[in-house]
Chain A
Amino acid sequence: MRRAEVGHRLEVLRLRRALLALLPGAGRGVLGALVGAHLLGSLAPGGIAVATGWLLTSALDTAGAGGIVAPLALVAVLVLLGQCVEIAREPLDLLAVRRIDGRLRSELRRRVTGPRGIAHLDEVGYADDVARVSEAGGWRTRTPGTGAVGQLTLAGRLLGATLSAFVLAWYAPVLAVGLLGVTLLMRAGIRRQWVRLGGIWDSRSGDRRRMKYWADTLSGPRDAKEIRLFGLGVWMTERHTDHGRAWLTEIWAERRGILRRQWWTFLLALGAGLAALSLPGAALAAGEIGAGELITMVLAAWGVFTAGAMGHEAFDIEYAVGALRAFERLAAHPSAAEGGSGGTLPAPTAPTHICFKGTGFRYPGSDRVVLDGLDLDIRPGEVLGIVGRNGAGKTTMLKLLTGLQSPTAGSITLDGVDLADFDVDSWRRRVSPVFQDFLHYPLTARENIALGAPEVDADDAAILSAADAAGARELIERLPDGLDTLLTREHTGGVDLSGGQWQRIAIARALFAVAHGRHLLVLDEPTAHLDVRAETEFYDRVVAAVSGVRGSTVVLISHRLSTVRRADRIVLLEGGRTTEAGSHSELMDLGGDYADLYQLQASRFVADETEWTVV
């Protein structure tokens, strides 16, 4: 038990030190100014006690009225100093907090995107820790930044209390030590009580995230139609409230318990107050001290009390510790040790022969085999169509191809060299994907297209020509600020696009990338939201243009077999492996599953072939 206690103390100390270590992030100048402000400010309470005592002694000394000018000036200087320092600290504190938090947020983003793959993001707990570090607190801002700055404030307060105690000790050393001791004891006790609240807050980060999810769903446009049509508003509001209650009930119970146990702080404070007033009072009555000394002693005792009292900073520190611990866990995560780039070979600059050999994959902690001995060739410059049922492993295959996940069996090679030997960043700079859930960057139309290849300096001509090829030119020209229009309604001045319009932007993004040397274009259901004309034009305009003119490789995943059929080769994925492969006509001749699926879609047109002659 004792051991655990010591361990706990050491851990608290270590975390305090870790918080202090964040302070240099505020910048040397700011930190220096803050420390200076605290040093100056801590002089005020004790100084005012001495000066006021001096003032009274001079006033009572009937020798002359001129005697009070010097002590009065000192009081004035100290009062003004105390107030100005406290006021000046506010912008400095804010600057320090913002700088520290800004650095931490950058660092967090670097940590999340640092590892080679993205497997760590799917682990239970990882996202919670990311949310913990990112969270800005509730009513008050409570971040590692406020915690770190809170440590300084705490140090300043304790210094002020100690200096006041020194003043008091000049007259009554025992009283000074006693009062300081009681004040520190109260602080420590209160902190221990409140530490558990911070712990509960920290452990319920998931509930808050879920509350936010329901809140976003209920008050956002995305799911508004379904909520109304099915009268789900009440049900979802209840879910939101349930999550809120789930964690707040725990907080409330703990806090009420703490409040009921406050009688001891009341008793301690009462005792301290009695001692602080009775000793000087009695001494004055006995004629042992003068009125000036009395006032100095009482004010100094008050200085010990107020400077030693708990402010926001104590709670800021406790809340910050949770976020800091989460950050440490993220930094210690095995993925952090994984090199960012994998091998060292630069990826080939020309289209390459990609080969999956007996590639197997299953997600960590899952029994289900997603890819099961996949053999697949992607030849340079070809258009490869991939067809398969929902859940056949198409997206997983793309993740392996781009090094976001590593195969659990078999291998993937580029021109015969294992993918793992390449510098993965240089390989990714050769790939341009259009996923089904492509990104809607909360940025301008220009940036939404240019971010397909952030490694190049985008000029308007290149962006517009990509937009042109994707059929997005007209919609961009109709936007209020053209390419500079912000494409999100969440921010001031932005506009939102429809599903079909967004899809054109995503295709333009990919084409922009292909035009800048990303020679493997991967299209996952790229026409889902396009209208008939755009869908029909898609193959010629995008696929054929890319593979024919630029010699790039295209992987086209689609359920729209009228689009896929024109690919040079088509493979059918089933149960994580290739079951059929060949050109459209070969597969039709084969009469297998592909032929069946194709017939299924085509027959819906062919039924009236009598009216329609095939052109």
Chain B
Amino acid sequence: MSGRPSVVTGILRIAYAADPRATSAVLVLACVNALSVAASGLSVRQLANSSSTAALWLAVVVGAVAYAMIAAVLRVQHNLQVDLTERVDLVLSQRLFGLASRTPTLEHLERPEFLDRLSSIRSGTETLAGACWGAVGAGSSMLSLGLSVWLLTDVHPALALLVLLAVPPLVFSRRASRLLGQARDRMADAERREEHLHRLGTEAEAAKELRISQSHRVIGARADAYWESATAVLVRAQGRAALWQAAGWGCFAVGYVGALAFVAHLVARGSGTVGDLLMVASLSGYLRMQLQATVTGASQLAEGRHTMRRLWWLEDHAERQSHTGTEPAPRGLTRGISLRGVSFTYPGTDNTILREIDLELRAGSTVAIVGVNGAGKTTLVKLLTGMYEPTAGEIAVDGVALKRLDLDAWRARHAIGIGDLPRADDPDAVARAVESAHAQAVVDRLPAGLDSQLGRIFDGAELSRGQWQKVALARAMMRGESLLWILDEPTAALDPQTEHDLYERFVGADSAGRGAEGAITLLVSHRFSTVRMADHIVVLSDGEVAEEGTHAQLMERAGPYAELYGTQSRAYTAAQDS
């Protein structure tokens, strides 16, 4: 944690970069406002004590200016703070999402406890952005508190004891806000569940199944229950917090009344003035406000620190995960990709997904991976694309360890779904991609063709599953120079004609459309009619290679592949049994 700026300076720096004038203005106004409370106390004292008309008017003017400061300028300060908080929040969100999405691996997005941390950072950026104003507010009220006390000691040194009475409210309020914080943390999950169910009950996407099954009433009732349970806990905590606060402020009120009695006593004895009593009475009202501001500022700062620490954790994680490989990705493949003794266990679990996999993906070949649900196919794809590093063993591209390759460059040579954005403005490239994905019919139906906005949330056209899949395919077609084509069950929602054409292009004998020299097609599929055409077929079972070979070899072995193939084939070729 060393070498990192404190929350306050870190955030102030961002705010200053976003708007130097507003940031400076806030700091100046904070000082001015700290002075105005003391000035107002001083003025009422002089008001009653002044002997000359000039002194009287001076007191009036100082008091009025101080009041106007408190009434109008404080609001300006607060609003500038809100303004800056929004600016800083945007910068912080940008940093957060940059970290979350540019970290090359997926652990932080797939491991539940990391995901929890991530979502707590997400909901905390605004508090973090405002944390430095908490510190500024606390500092300014401390200053003003000090000035007030200095004025009070001028009346009688014993009044300095009032500062001691500020301790119980401070301590008890800290305790109260901790109680509230704990309750909020405890209820965060219930609140998220309510939010989740409420969204499910009101969004368009879920409506058709919800309404047919009529589960919307159950969903609504569950949402109500979560809301109520969160309310009960939060209100109870707020109630207990109120007791602590009442105890704290009760002490303070007793002190205040004591001070009044003391000064009244001084006045009665003739050693105090009317102005003294007036000042004590008016300052005490403000003292409470200042104390409250100190408490709020301190707890805001503490909350911000909490989020900051988590952000640092994410930065460290991103740093650790960042790929240090620098070797350029090859332009073409000559040998291929080899896996040597690759094993993998998801971090934080003890469930081994892949066990000592040895595989050779030869350059220019089509490799199919088959296996039942949960055999480890998707995990294997994640390792090949560098989303995770194997826990043991090595993956090498043309003999160079994947670890040593520049990962971004390597990924620029895959194709799964999305095209290269810089080329999105090239109408010919887009037209070709649409054509080869059989997506023309989808485009034709759109109100403004290729320029149509898609997606309900953007007020655009909504597509069916199959139509989206065609769009995704067209996206993949944008990337011409791929070395590794990964087709992970790409036709689940496609109609037979589109499916057929797609496979012909990638897996068929004439797969010239693939682009780069020695490109490998990796096909993950349950469609054995396509799988059989691959040059090499790998059957995964429980994280191990059960068997591999060409279709003919595997059929001859009469192992699990032959059995699965036979089952699916018979479904087409067997005579109708009914």
Contact = CB atoms under 8 A, between A and B. Distances in A.
Given A273-B65, A439-B209, A605-B529, 6 more contacts: A60-B267, A65-B265, A90-B238, A90-B241, A237-B97, A559-B493
Given A68-B265, A285-B53, A565-B576, A435 B44 contact: no
A102 B235 CA distance: 14
Interface string A266-277: 110111111011
A455 B373 contact: no
Is the interface on chain A under 10, 10 to 19, 20 to 34, or 35 or more residues?
Answer: 35 or more
B493 A436 contact: yes
A606 to B, nearest CB: 6
Contact of B242 (A90, A259, A601): A90
- Per CB-CB distance, the 10 closest pairs between chain A and chain B, nearest first, are A273-B64, A390-B466, A233-B101, A604-B529, A500-B373, A562-B571, A291-B274, A273-B67, A269-B68, A121-B204
Given A221-B115, A259-B76, A139 B98 contact: no
B411 A229 contact: yes
A75 B262 CA distance: 13
Interface string B310-346: 0000000000000000000000000000000000000
A224 interface: yes
B400 interface: no
B79 A229 contact: no
Nearest to A81: B253
Nearest to A451: B215
Given A230-B418, A500-B373, A559-B496, A302 B285 contact: yes
Interface stretch (B221-229, B355-363, B542-550): B221-229
B372 A113 contact: no
B268 interface: yes
Interface in A197-245: 206, 209-210, 213-215, 218-221, 224-237, 240-241, 244-245
B153 interface: no
Contacts of B206: 439
B59 A102 contact: no
Given A138-B126, A559-B494, A615-B570, A281 B238 contact: no
Which label, helix, strand, loop or mixed, suits the secondary structure of the A interface? helix
A302 to B, nearest CB: 7
A380 B86 CA distance: 61
A446 B503 CA distance: 39
Contacts of A232: 101, 418, 421
B267 A56 contact: yes
A460 interface: no
A229 B192 contact: no
Interface residues of B, number: 182
A56 B119 CA distance: 58
Given A226-B418, A234-B98, A604-B530, A451 B250 contact: no
Nearest to A310: B75
A375 interface: no
B306 to A, nearest CB: 16
A566 B578 CA distance: 8
A530 interface: yes
A409 interface: no
Interface string A354-393: 0000000000000010000000000000000000111100
Nearest to A583: B576
Nearest to A52: B281
Nearest to A602: B572
B64 to A, nearest CB: 3
A612 B56 contact: no
B495 A390 contact: yes
Contacts of B98: 233-234, 237
16 contacts: A90-B245, A94-B234, A113-B211, A118-B211, A121-B203, A139-B127, A270-B68, A277-B44, A294-B47, A532-B370, A532-B567, A561-B572, A600-B496, A602-B572, A604-B530, A605-B528
B543 to A, nearest CB: 14
B129 to A, nearest CB: 9
A432 B208 CA distance: 11
Given A52-B281, A436-B493, A452-B213, A282 B257 contact: no
Contact of A210 (B193, B231, B458): B458
Interface centre among B242, B458, B494, B503 (most CB of A within 10 A): B242
Nearest to B499: A559
Contacts of B458: 210
Interface string B193-209: 10011111111111111
Contact of B497 (A226, A600, A604): A600
A536 interface: yes
B204 A80 contact: no
Contact of A612 (B85, B112, B119, B569): B569
Given A248-B90, A391-B464, A229 B212 contact: no
B448 interface: no
Contacts of B106: 221, 224-225, 228
B94 A237 contact: yes
A567 to B, nearest CB: 10
A160 B371 CA distance: 75
B86 A248 contact: yes
A531 B385 contact: no
Which label, helix, strand, loop or mixed, suits the secondary structure of the B interface? helix
A230 B382 contact: no
Interface stretch (A4-12, A122-130, A163-171, A461-469): A122-130
Contact of A113 (B90, B201, B500): B201
Contacts of A432: 212-213
Interface centre among A273, A533, A608 (most CB of B within 10 A): A273
A614 B577 CA distance: 12
A36 to B, nearest CB: 16
Given A79-B253, A83-B250, A606 B83 contact: no
Contact of A532 (B115, B274, B564): B564
A605 B71 contact: no
Contact of B101 (A186, A219, A306, A489): A219
A68 B261 contact: yes
Given A59-B264, A489-B115, A501-B373, A130 B202 contact: yes
Contacts of B73: 262, 266
Contacts of A109: 198, 201-202, 216, 219-220, 223
B505 interface: no
Contact of B253 (A83, A130, A429, A436): A83
B212 A231 contact: no
Contacts of B53: 285
Nearest to A500: B373
A84 interface: yes
B93 interface: yes
A513 interface: yes
A157 interface: no
Contacts of B246: 83-84, 87-88
B154 interface: no
Interface string A461-498: 00000000000000000000000000011111010001
A220 B66 CA distance: 51
A278 interface: yes
Interface stretch (A148-156, A249-257, A320-328): A249-257
A274 B441 CA distance: 77
A121 B566 CA distance: 46
A22 interface: no
Contacts of B79: 255, 258-259
B268 A65 contact: yes
Contacts of B203: 121, 127
Given A102-B228, A235-B421, A236-B101, A59 B282 contact: no
Contact of B94 (A241, A258, A299): A241
Contact of A225 (B43, B385, B576): B385
Given A59-B277, A79-B253, A291 B48 contact: yes
Contacts of A219: 96-97, 100-101, 109, 118-119, 122
B435 interface: no
Contact of A563 (B254, B268, B571): B571
A98 B98 CA distance: 35
